[in-house]
Structure 1
Amino acid sequence: MQVRVTVLCENSVASPFGVVGEHGWAVWIETDAGSWLFDTGQGVGLRNNAAVLGVDLAQAQGIVLSHGHYDHTAGLPTALGEQDGSVQVFAHPDLFLSRYWKKEDRQREIGLRYTRPYLEGLGARFDLATGFRAIAPGIYLTGEVPRTTPFEPVDPAMKLRDADGCWHQDPLLDDQALVVDTAAGLLVVLGCAHAGLINTLQHVRASLPGRPIHTVIGGTHLGFAEPAQLEATLDHLDSFGIRRLGASHCTGLANGARLAAALGDRYFFAAAGCRFELG
């Protein structure tokens, strides 16, 4: 399978001609099995950047949401508004949980901004599942990623609040990646990798045995990692034989630079406007 990837939304900008940046993530993926929108950013730049980059969002065969945080889902009404009719939206059942970022006495709501009935009124047909699955020939969603590594903890600032007002750790079980099986190898498109970059890649390898992972692109959540986690991640990355890693979004500038120094030519910054082909 041939695939063409265009980054529509990201914190930084690679293209100098009208593309805007935002704290968010959205990727347009063109394949032999149709075109797919993976995440939607905050909704600030999606429509503008799609127009500047020549992407017709109305051609989306489906929309995939990596998890239920606002910086990946708030552009969903914009994306739905570009469709000629209803469209499937693939996600995890935890998509609509009420989510927060909380540190000490500071807190902020960070979940999906819209209700399911509102989005369905705009044409969303939600397809919610927890397991690894094919959504088209050669295109897969990882579903829930097993947490097996000892060095990739759940972010302690991610919280849920129950009906009594009590706070609980958000396990972010809905964190998932999209995988495209190309002639060159697997393309893995991450959202934020809240489940851990290595956990995610191990799950992909176990789910599609014998297929090499060629390119990984997206948020790695390493921007919040302690130095020991980053070092352990780098140690384990070599075992996958990845040819290219395009880290972005929640990777952070400092740890993104460290990844670039460690990986050399295998690394690239996947900013808004970045475009490449594989297969």
Structure 2
Amino acid sequence: MKRTRLVVLSDNRTNNKLLQTEHGLSVYLESPSGKYLLDTGASDLFIRNAKVLGIDLADVDYCLISHGHNDHIGGLPYFLKLNNKAKVILSEAIPGTEYASMRRYQHSITGNVDFSQDKKRFLFVNESTNIGAVNVYANIEKRNPLPLGNKSLLCSDAYGQFIPDNFTHELAFVIDGVLFTGCAHSGILNILQSIDVTINLSIGGFHLLDSYLAQTYETDKQLNTIAVRLHEDYPRVQFYTGHCTGDHCFEVISQSYNIHIHQFYCGEEILLASK
């Protein structure tokens, strides 16, 4: 019996004093089909934590980038220096696009990646496809409401002007029954409805932010609606979320129904049996 192993390398939380945290997300996945790095966090922190945890990132076969924000792609230059073989799968909309957040104040959230270097390493996609054992999902249909946290996020258009981000640069991935959502800016329900393969586990953010003072996001009623859908439509899926999922939002969803949902943290190891 083979197994699938996931280890969270970069996140906002940890219970391991030997590990560091940041506002970023990176997950190591080792499965029957290969070794994968799911996003690279905001810095080289994921590499430093991997060393502490005894994970050799030089052996990774593919690096999957969910979207162009710095907290998910910022560590990519460090990974490319460490690993000289892995292909990087990402949206073709990312190079040349600037990203900004208006939350609290306008600031850049663009990843500092030089795509003119290591050109042969990048696999740019603009539509759903399969690359090796990786099911790549692009242009996710927006049938359900998008996370309200998106309202403060911008991207540059063809004229260099900032406009509301429509997240055409966001990808979701399924590898050996594991769904990686990144931040799920397209909405966790929209992503789940867009994939066409069976999954056992979903890992990544829900982009459900806790309301604070004048910054208001999903109400408890809206969170409960999401919880109902997860409970009714995906009863067998194990959900692991963190990073951009607020503590209050997680509490409401996890306590609403009998959903298999967990709040991940930096250093957590998840094991799944595989046939």
Q: Which of the five TM-score ranges fits, normalised by the shorter chain?
A: 0.7 to 0.9
Aligned to 1:9: 10
Aligned to 2:252: 258
Pairwise CA distance, 1:163 = 6.8
Pairwise CA distance, 1:269 = 1.6
Matched, 1:226 2:226: no
Contact 1:39 1:72 in 2 (8 A): yes
Aligned to 2:32: 32
Alpha-carbon distance in 2 for matches of 1:151, 1:116: 30
Contact 2:147 2:207 in 1 (8 A): no
Aligned to 1:192: 183
Aligned to 2:214: none
Pairwise CA distance, 1:270 = 1.1
Aligned to 1:274: 268
| Residues 77, 229 of structure 1: alpha-carbon distance in 2 compared, 3 angstrom cutoff | same
The aligned amino acid for 2:115 is R
Contact 1:143 1:177 in 2 (8 A): yes
Q: How does 1:62-73 map to 2 (within 5 A)?
A: 62-73=62-73
Q: How many residues align?
A: 263
Contact 1:98 1:160 in 2 (8 A): yes
Between stretches 50-59 and 163-172, larger displacement belongs to 163-172
Pairwise CA distance, 1:189 = 1.5
Pairwise CA distance, 1:165 = 6.1
Alpha-carbon distance in 2 for matches of 1:75, 1:273: 17
TM-score by length of 2: 0.88
1:141 pairs with one of 128, 133, 136: 136
Structure 2, unmatched stretches of 5+, are 211-216
Cα deviation 1:87-135 (Å, max 9, x = unaligned):
311001112211111258x3111111122124x2xx7611011222222
Alpha-carbon distance in 1 for matches of 2:160, 2:175: 41
Task: Give aligned-pair identity as a percent.
Answer: 27
Q: 1 or 2, which has the higher helix percentage?
A: 1
Q: Say which SS state the counterpart of residue 72 (structure 1) adopts.
A: helix
Q: How does 1:88-107 map to 2 (within 5 A)?
A: 88-96=87-95, 97-102=97-102, 106-107=105-106
Alpha-carbon distance in 2 for matches of 1:189, 1:249: 13
Pairwise CA distance, 1:154 = 7.4
Question: Considering only aligned residues, what root-mean-square deviation do their CA atoms show, in Å?
Answer: 2.2
Q: Say which SS state the counterpart of residue 68 (structure 1) adopts.
A: coil
2:230 pairs with one of 227, 237, 241: 237
1:128 pairs with one of 124, 131, 136: 124
Alpha-carbon distance in 2 for matches of 1:154, 1:265: 23
Pairwise CA distance, 1:243 = 3.5
The aligned amino acid for 2:75 is G
Between stretches 57-66 and 149-158, larger displacement belongs to 149-158
Structure 1, unmatched stretches of 5+, are none
Pairwise CA distance, 1:151 = 5.7
Alpha-carbon distance in 1 for matches of 2:158, 2:11: 34
Pairwise CA distance, 1:86 = 4.1
Contact 1:22 1:44 in 2 (8 A): no
Pairwise CA distance, 1:33 = 1.4
Aligned to 1:216: 202
Alpha-carbon distance in 2 for matches of 1:146, 1:269: 26
Alpha-carbon distance in 2 for matches of 1:194, 1:8: 21
